[in-house]
A and B are shown apart, each in its own frame.
Chain A
Amino acid sequence: MNSLQIYLLLSSFLFSLGIYAIISRQNAVAILMGIELILNSANINFIAFNRFTSNLNALDGHLFAMFVIVLAAAEAAVALAIIINLFKNIGTVNVDQASELKG
């Protein structure tokens, strides 16, 4: 087992955790945390592939990871704002309760 596979396994594990959180949690904040985990697993992939497949001077993977972190921060800010509004409107952050558009 070489070292790339270890990183990929780690990222897969993180990704699976994130998916699991998204699917199983009912708390909107927990779901948001799942999404953060998925984004971070992607970041690990970027870094790992950059390190093991291209030359060492290349910084493409790092750049992508930086972008993802910035986007994740912006996304977290918007999502938390939405969650706060949701809480204001229906008094809970349980996503199953937010079913006004359901026919």
Chain B
Amino acid sequence: MEFNIILALSFLYIPIFLFLYQLFFGHILKHNTWWISIAGIGINLAISLSLFYQTFLFTPDDKIISGRFNWLSTGNFNLDLGLLIDNMAAFMLLVVSLVSFLVHLYSSEYMKGDSRFSRYYAFLGLFTFSMNGIVLADSITMIYIFWELVGLSSYLIIGFWFEKNSAAMASKKAFLTNRVGDIGMFIGIMMIYFVGDTHSFNLDEIIEKVKMGGIDTTYLSIAGVLIFMGAVGKSAQLPLHIWLPDAMEGPTPASAMIHAATMVAAGVYMALRIFPILTFEALTVIAFIGASTAIFAAIIAITQNDIKKVLAYSTVSQLGYMVLAIGVGSYLAAFFHLVTHAMFKACLFMASGSVIHSMHHSLHELHDHDTDPQDMRNMGGLKNKMPITYAAMLITTLAIAGVPFFSGFVSKDAILAGTLAHYFEHGGYTVFLPLAGFGAAAITAFYMFRLIFLTFHGKPANEKIYEHIHESPSAMTIPLIVLSTLSFSLFYTGSINPLADGSYGWFAKSIGIGHNYVIEVGDHHNHQSHKDSDSHTISDKSHHNDEHHDEKSHYNEKNSHGNHGFTEHVSHAAHAAHYTAMYLSLFVASLGILFSFIVYFLRKVDAEKLYRFFNIFKLYNLSKNKFYVDEIYSNILYKPFMFWSKTASKIDWDFYDQKGIDSLGKITLFVSDRTTKVDYDWLDQIVVDGFGKIANFMSLKFKNIQGGIVQSYILGGLVALILIILFVQQI
């Protein structure tokens, strides 16, 4: 095996080794066992950094490392497993390894003294293993296998404190909700294989087949949406988002890794992997799911008081953004936001964990077990006590709110430009996409600053608790510092100019703008004409970025192996809409921040009054109760399901079983009774016993011949002799 492959496979065997080690031998080193885990993940981080360096040497279409082998072969069915590292996978590996490394470090302090400390590290190892598997996979079946493993490790982590009933329930909810999406994904994969007649699960081969126009686009649309259902489940999109907020029952650092930075991004990553085969219709469905999720979750996040719940809904909302970006064809923007979001959201979660940790300790010292350490209403004014946490949280909040100089601004702007371009081109009902995007941006800015103001500013809600609050130890603050540093836009655009278009930095160069072959095959001409008419009108408005145009066309020439019509077109249009989107997003973000500032910092407007005002239309209640989605599911799905299953069980037991099956049994009993009689009385007693009786009778008679009296034998011999003589004489 090549050295490269061994290197790449280390992303699988190191974490799985850590998992097994911590599971079976984790108790040996007690608390110090985490050093082994962090050493393993550290090696992975180093390897991923070296891979990351290589991305500068490759174009988006190149494979840095690839290899596959035949795993299963029956008849003419072949299942290959293989790995493929291209630039996107290398990026993703770096993100996963970095966040995993920091979470391992952070957890050593956060989870200190937990009775199942080593098991926690085992789960982290299992999760890292399965996540890396998804990233490395070169076939859709391998993605599916690791997809399920990720689901399993998520289940284990959410239910880590399974003594708490809510945690046990939440883990079940997450697992089952994910399963709904996975069924769709599995059907989609099978459709591609059988209906699409690809006879391969390998992504490259499927894409090649699609490129040749070998699959009917109607089937492809259905299959695309079905496969995307997996992402709906895993990335918590509407209507399967319900598990993610409940998943906050898990330990906070694990939430940071699994439910904020990496696992939920797996859905987006998978959608990006299959992006080339998504048809326009499928993309439209995806865009609308993403847009509604973004705005919907943002509205819910406004009224949540639990600090982790706010972040959970904000995660759902941001994932909605990524999905929206895929839907409008902004391949690059989706991945860009995935990476920046992973950094700032992991940091936000860990910062909230830091706050919760110190709240917990403070409450512990006060012997107060009733106050909720996660409720923001019990906090306030923490910024003086926890300066590092505050700074990290402020930076990342600025990033998520979309403020210039920070990473979220650049990536979110790229997405919003994409939606705007999409609307300019298609018009009509697609106006919903940019509206939802900008609306969610404003709301995001509002609720994130609400979180900051409630937690860190103002007067402490409880002086006693406040006195015992202190900054977290360095193992917890170092990850915060690293991640908040990586939330500056400088690292992604490579430009000090805060308004630079993120779509043309070094990041864009190594990821590329993606390809979409289906659109080209389907309506190539259509798009060409659109491109001619629309892009001119838009670029007229913004001719001041000619410089970018030149840079871009140069870049495209370098990369174009074939016709990249659609994505090139989208990227072009998004670029044209860049400044419009930027000003709009700046405007809505400052609007949100300003409003939050007035309500929660200056307290000019009483928040209570505001609630009551909105509650006239029951809007507040709607948001507070998460749009009653759980209740609706309970009423529409759970309760009728229970009713029907109870009815079915009644029918099954009382009628079918008691009457139907039992009477069959009775008939059988009767018939067997009769046949027993026939069998015993006739066959057994008369026929079978008859043979015995005959034998008995005969033997009774014949035994007299052998009487032991020699003289009778002699007589018999004489008779026989005479008979023989007579017989011989006859002849």
Contacts and interface: CB of A to CB of B under 8 A. Distances in A.
Nearest to B712: A23
15 contacts: A19-B714, A19-B718, A22-B711, A22-B714, A23-B711, A23-B714, A23-B715, A23-B718, A24-B711, A95-B710, A95-B711, A96-B709, A99-B708, A102-B708, A103-B708
Interface string A20-41: 0011100000000000000000
Interface residues of A, number: 9
Contacts of B709: 96
A22 B718 CA distance: 11
B: interface residue count bin: under 10
A4 B711 CA distance: 32
Interface in A20-78: 22-24
Given A22-B711, A23-B718, 13 more contacts: A19-B714, A19-B718, A22-B714, A23-B711, A23-B714, A23-B715, A24-B711, A95-B710, A95-B711, A96-B709, A99-B708, A102-B708, A103-B708
Query: Looking at chain A's contact residues, is the secondary structure mostly helix, strand, loop, or mixed?
Result: loop
A19 B718 CA distance: 9
Contacts of A99: 708
Contacts of B714: 19, 22-23
Contacts, number: 15
Contacts of A102: 708
A103 B64 CA distance: 99
A103 B711 CA distance: 17
B722 to A, nearest CB: 11
For the complex of A and B, the 4 pairs showing the least CB-CB separation, nearest first, are A102-B708, A23-B715, A23-B711, A23-B714
Nearest to A19: B718
Nearest to A102: B708
B723 to A, nearest CB: 15
A96 B709 CA distance: 7
Interface of A: 19, 22-24, 95-96, 99, 102-103
A22 B711 CA distance: 7
Interface in B686-720: 708-711, 714-715, 718
A19 to B, nearest CB: 6
B707 to A, nearest CB: 9
B312 to A, nearest CB: 98
Contacts of B710: 95
A96 B710 CA distance: 9
Contacts of B711: 22-24, 95
Nearest to A31: B711
A7 B684 CA distance: 65
Nearest to B708: A102
B408 to A, nearest CB: 111
A1 to B, nearest CB: 20
Contacts of A22: 711, 714
Contacts of A23: 711, 714-715, 718
Contacts of B718: 19, 23
Interface string B60-104: 000000000000000000000000000000000000000000000
A102 B713 CA distance: 14
A95 B710 CA distance: 9
A19 B714 CA distance: 9
Contacts of A24: 711
Contacts of B715: 23
A36 B711 CA distance: 17
A16 B477 CA distance: 133
A32 B709 CA distance: 17
A82 to B, nearest CB: 14
A68 to B, nearest CB: 20
Nearest to B715: A23
B725 to A, nearest CB: 12
A23 B709 CA distance: 10
A96 B714 CA distance: 14
A102 B718 CA distance: 23
Interface string B527-565: 000000000000000000000000000000000000000
Nearest to A101: B708
A19 B711 CA distance: 10
A103 B714 CA distance: 20
A52 B710 CA distance: 37
Nearest to B711: A23
A95 B714 CA distance: 14
A96 B711 CA distance: 9
B720 to A, nearest CB: 13
A59 B272 CA distance: 130
A102 B715 CA distance: 19
A91 B708 CA distance: 21
A74 B573 CA distance: 141
B714 to A, nearest CB: 6
Contacts of A19: 714, 718
A103 B708 CA distance: 9
A78 B499 CA distance: 143
A22 B716 CA distance: 13
A23 B715 CA distance: 6
A43 B715 CA distance: 23
A102 B711 CA distance: 14
A21 to B, nearest CB: 10
A78 to B, nearest CB: 18
Interface in B591-623: none
A95 B712 CA distance: 12
Contacts of A103: 708
A59 to B, nearest CB: 30
A95 B708 CA distance: 11
Nearest to B710: A95
A22 B715 CA distance: 9
Nearest to A22: B714
A103 B718 CA distance: 25
A102 B712 CA distance: 15
Contacts of A95: 710-711
